[in-house]
Structure 1
Amino acid sequence: MNPFRTVLKPGVSKHTLSLGDRIVTVGSCFAEAMGARLLANKVSTLANPFGVVYNPHSLHKAVLYAVYNEPVPESTFLERDGLHYSYDFHSSFSAGNRAELRKRITDCLGATHHFLKDARAVILTYGTAWIYTRNETGEVVANCHKMPSQLFTKSILTIDEIVASFGDFHKRLREFNPSCVVILTVSPVRHLRDTIEGNSLSKAILRAACGTIARSFEDVEYYPAYEIMMDDLRDYRFYKRDMIHPTEEAEDYIWEHFVATYFNAETRAFFEEWKGIRAALSHRPFHPGSASHQSFLRDTLAKLEHLQQTVNVEEEMKSLRRQIESHRA
């Protein structure tokens, strides 16, 4: 029977990942969605530590801040409406004074530095090739923080500029952690504020740059999240009501494809087992004190005890024990 769609079948990566590997996700809000799924499945993950960052130049810059674990320049700080921000970080990094903000950023960079040192993979998700440059300094910003538009010049990165920026980033990352691989993705999130035409141009530049980069480095791969959304799913029902962000169903589909591509058989088997346990943990009974539910809790606890040598399930076990104890006769 004709499926009336083009199914993008998972390949098998030469850079196989396992449950014990450390993974860092960085970039657009799609990086947060994938990072959340890695964490939910007990993979040691640092999910978007710098907040949402869209353009490749700012993304590379943020990771290199963590590589060198050095203070960010004072010139990147700004104040608006009584709150302090940094042009190189997402607006979630804000504080009532500069010292507090500097500490938050320093703590973040320090934690990322130590996690990144032993990371097996960094997943970079590029969101847009459009950039904003500060007229005062000539620096590309990660976020304009709603400052007046006349302070910036909007332009679009070229393929060559992205490739050159990645080349410098890659060299420094390899010096810091030679065993770390890079997985590139283009975010399927639509940037319609740049117009439909502008978004299409931006995504095309990002995709072409990723292709050039992946062909140039043995330890870099491109993962086709964008193509899965555009050509495999290819339907507005897989977008949320804003018609910009993929639905949870679409993200789950891409996640399952990613798992099949990158994780080894042992880890995939664990994910399947953990999927059932997660469903059991989220179960909300009508009669929590009933004998049948208490038996269900004890069975689930036994499964967790079996897994505790593999992953950290201490919090889940504590929760079940509290539920059992609270209804013990």
Structure 2
Amino acid sequence: MHFRTELIVPESPDKITLQTPVLTLGSCFAEVIGTKLVENKIPTLSNPFGTLFNPLSIVKLLHHALEGTPPDERLYVEHQGVWFHYDFHSSLWAASREELRERLVTTLAAVQQWLSRTEVLIITLGTAFVYRHLESGQWVANCHKTPSSAFQRKLLQTEQIVAAFDGFFTKLPTSLKAIFTVSPVRHTRDTLPLNAVSKSLLRVACHELSERGHAYFPAYELLLDDLRDYRFYKSDLIHPNEQAEDYIFERFANAYFTKELQKFIQEWQKIRQALGHRPLYPNTASHRQFLENLLQKLQKIAIDVDVNPELATVSEQLASL
């Protein structure tokens, strides 16, 4: 007897190893995936532009990074003494326009450098609604609390989304593998009916892109159709909780990670747990032995990954005994 419809995610022929550089971009779910990749020592640049919900904004900043062009000078905005840019998330801010410009140019340069070595690009799409800044005529990523009268809202069509990504991928080497996902986070401000319209357009666009050879990972379906229960949501009943995020990441790992990487992650999680251990009896011989064993494990994997911060922490603890 079955009590849920379990989604089978087929294994990808294109595998991620412990040395595979990854770039994640898009909605907050891209940050969830990116953070977990970083935590597991996979070389990853996680959501460097901050949360980007709509496809056009993601593509626009990727073009800026790839071509080395600066942010649009018309789209800086000041709110209560803090400067933002309409193309970027509010996590990228500064006390002055000049300081923000320098920060954004540095961020774009970092992404440009990462794109030159990235092997996997994970893009999470959040909404098909976009906003045009009426004064500049530009589509923007974030309104930064500017009155809605300054913008025009539009629902993108599938053809626009696919064409935008097609134009970008022609500038990248064919060896780069793109994985698209649709964020399972619902945009309730659009109303649930319009959120459904938006997500359906994104899903069709991802299907069209998969027909062109790009991959699709069903994060959206895993939460809404596989788990399908509010106990897998945070208290806002919109965002997936930690248990759901872990489950979806586990399914991602099973589909895209090599067996060697999966084995490493299992061992690394045990080491991470040991690193967070709080001894009941510090300054004892047994605790020293525990730290020495942990140091040996870290030194063993240091050949493959950067564990210098962890090595320094354990060494410092040993020195203090």
The two structures have a TM-score, normalised by structure 2, of 0.98
Task: Tell me, yes or no, if the aligned pair for 2:83 and 2:97 is still in contact at 8 Å.
Answer: yes
The answer on 1:162 being equivalent to 2:161 is yes
Percent of aligned positions that are identical: 45
Gaps of 5+ in 2: none
The one-letter code sitting in structure 1 at the alignment partner of 2:138 is E
Task: Tell me, yes or no, if the aligned pair for 2:9 and 2:251 is still in contact at 8 Å.
Answer: yes
Corresponding residue number in structure 2 for 1:261 = 255
3-state SS of paired residue (2:78): strand
Q: CA deviation at 1:278?
A: 0.8
The answer on 1:273 being equivalent to 2:255 is no
3-state SS of paired residue (1:188): coil
* Counterparts of 2:244 and 2:166, CA distance in 1: 32
Corresponding residue number in structure 1 for 2:203 = 207
* Counterparts of 1:10 and 1:109, CA distance in 2: 34
Selected match of 1:307 from 288, 296, 301? 301
Q: CA deviation at 1:118?
A: 0.5
The Cα RMSD (Å) is 1.0
What CA deviation, in whole Å up to 9, does each residue of 1:165-195 have, x standing for no partner? 11112112x1xx4421110000011111111
The answer on 1:285 being equivalent to 2:279 is yes
* Counterparts of 2:230 and 2:287, CA distance in 1: 41
Gaps of 5+ in 1: none
What CA deviation, in whole Å up to 9, does each residue of 1:203-259 have, x standing for no partner? 11100110011102x2x1011000100111000000000011100110000001001
* Counterparts of 1:106 and 1:137, CA distance in 2: 20
Task: Tell me, yes or no, if the aligned pair for 2:83 and 2:94 is still in contact at 8 Å.
Answer: yes
What CA deviation, in whole Å up to 9, does each residue of 1:294-325 have, x standing for no partner? 21111111111111111111110110111111
Selected match of 1:252 from 232, 241, 246? 246
* Counterparts of 1:76 and 1:82, CA distance in 2: 16
Corresponding residue number in structure 2 for 1:241 = 235
The one-letter code sitting in structure 1 at the alignment partner of 2:96 is N
Corresponding residue number in structure 2 for 1:140 = 139
* Counterparts of 1:260 and 1:157, CA distance in 2: 33
* Counterparts of 2:320 and 2:293, CA distance in 1: 17
* Counterparts of 1:250 and 1:294, CA distance in 2: 37
Q: How many residues align?
A: 321
Corresponding residue number in structure 2 for 1:182 = 178
* Counterparts of 1:182 and 1:63, CA distance in 2: 13
Q: CA deviation at 1:142?
A: 0.3
Q: CA deviation at 1:279?
A: 0.8
3-state SS of paired residue (1:202): helix
What CA deviation, in whole Å up to 9, does each residue of 1:7-59 have, x standing for no partner? 11231112111110100000111111111100000000000000000000101
* Counterparts of 2:206 and 2:9, CA distance in 1: 19
Corresponding residue number in structure 1 for 2:80 = 81
* Counterparts of 1:52 and 1:286, CA distance in 2: 41
Corresponding residue number in structure 2 for 1:104 = 103
* Counterparts of 2:279 and 2:59, CA distance in 1: 47
Corresponding residue number in structure 2 for 1:127 = 126
Task: Tell me, yes or no, if the aligned pair for 2:75 and 2:136 is still in contact at 8 Å.
Answer: no
3-state SS of paired residue (1:310): coil
* Counterparts of 2:116 and 2:4, CA distance in 1: 42
3-state SS of paired residue (2:123): strand
Q: CA deviation at 1:154?
A: 1.2
Q: CA deviation at 1:264?
A: 0.8
Q: CA deviation at 1:286?
A: 2.3
Q: CA deviation at 1:164?
A: 1.2
